Amino acid sequence: MHKDLHEANRLSWNAATVAHNSHKGDQAAFFRAGGSTLFPEECELLGDIAGLELLHLQCNAGQDSLSLARLGARVTGVDIADEAIDFASQLARDSGIPARFERADLFDWFDAAIHDGRRFDRVFASYGALCWLSDLGTWARGIAGVLKPGGHFTLVEFHPYAMVFDPHWTPHYDYFHAGPVTEEDGVGDYVADSGKGLAPVDYQPGIVQFNNPHPSHEFSWGIAEVVSALIAAGLRIERLNEYPYSNGWRGFDDMRELEGRRMAPPAHLPTLPLMYGLTARHG
């Protein structure tokens, strides 16, 4: 476990979150008008969540959390970044959608929640969450510790195979490498890179040519490592899907935009797994 690197990442995410939200226009008005940032994949894997207690891990600035709350869940979002939690809390107030947001290193939060006996029907994480975790075993045991018996964990994540490529589709990074890999440029402005893919309503130029002053540190986890960690924590894998596109994120050169803001490799490349999703049951 590298909690010193988690803290360094907090600083990098604080800076990046300001840039990301500068492109998204009036988000409170978007939610008041019934908007949602969810994609069909996470909704299908989660199923009906109305009336359930739902924990959103690494919730970022809360847009997906509020979209889940609109579906009837009682949502608690947790994130390490101060800027993200402050923004999410204000967005909940301004949009009139109730949700609870708590700032903490996720591993510290799990320890406190388990000690206090907090339990949830659903635990959810998505899109670029796992690369910030320095220990998958601690993460998986934390999920198991806060799930109610019979509860489900749902994950939708970018496929680790896709992460071996640099932005030009050239193999560059090791698949079997747990890190940490230090990025001196820190968390980048992937919202600006993706345009309306990640800011579907009223995209704004916002902060231009963002430079993050804080380096970031990432960890690479293969699908087998993720699944094995969840099984070792006592969870039962019920479903595992792979997808030949990425939702919203235009992470590589010349990506084709498909229906529903899905991004696929350019036509001259073969189909590649760019996302995966899974569900795991407690007990």
Q: pLDDT, tens digit, for every residue of 152-163?
A: 999 999 999 999
Mean pLDDT for 23-34 is: 91
The token pair that represents 135 in the structure block: 């220990």
The span from the CA of 276 to the CA of 42, in Å, is 10
Residue pLDDT, tens place only, 95-144:
999 999 999 999 999 999 999 999 999 999 999 999 999 999 999 999 99
Say whether pTM exceeds 0.85: yes
Backbone angles phi, psi at 241, to 5 degrees: -115, 150
The span from the CA of 34 to the CA of 29, in Å, is 9
The residue count for the chain: 283
Split into its structural domains, the chain has a count of: 1
**Rounded (5°) CA angle 194-11-118:** 90
Domain that holds residue 226: 3-282
- Check whether 31 has a pLDDT greater than 80: yes
AA identity, residue 60: N
Coil/strand/helix, residue 23: coil
Mean pLDDT for 226-254 is: 96
Residue pLDDT, tens place only, 43-87:
999 999 999 999 999 999 999 999 999 999 999 999 999 999 999
- pLDDT-derived band at 194, boundaries 50, 70, 90: confident
- Check whether 201 has a pLDDT greater than 80: no
Mean pLDDT for 188-204 is: 82
CATH of the domain at 238: 3.40.50.150
Coil/strand/helix, residue 211: coil
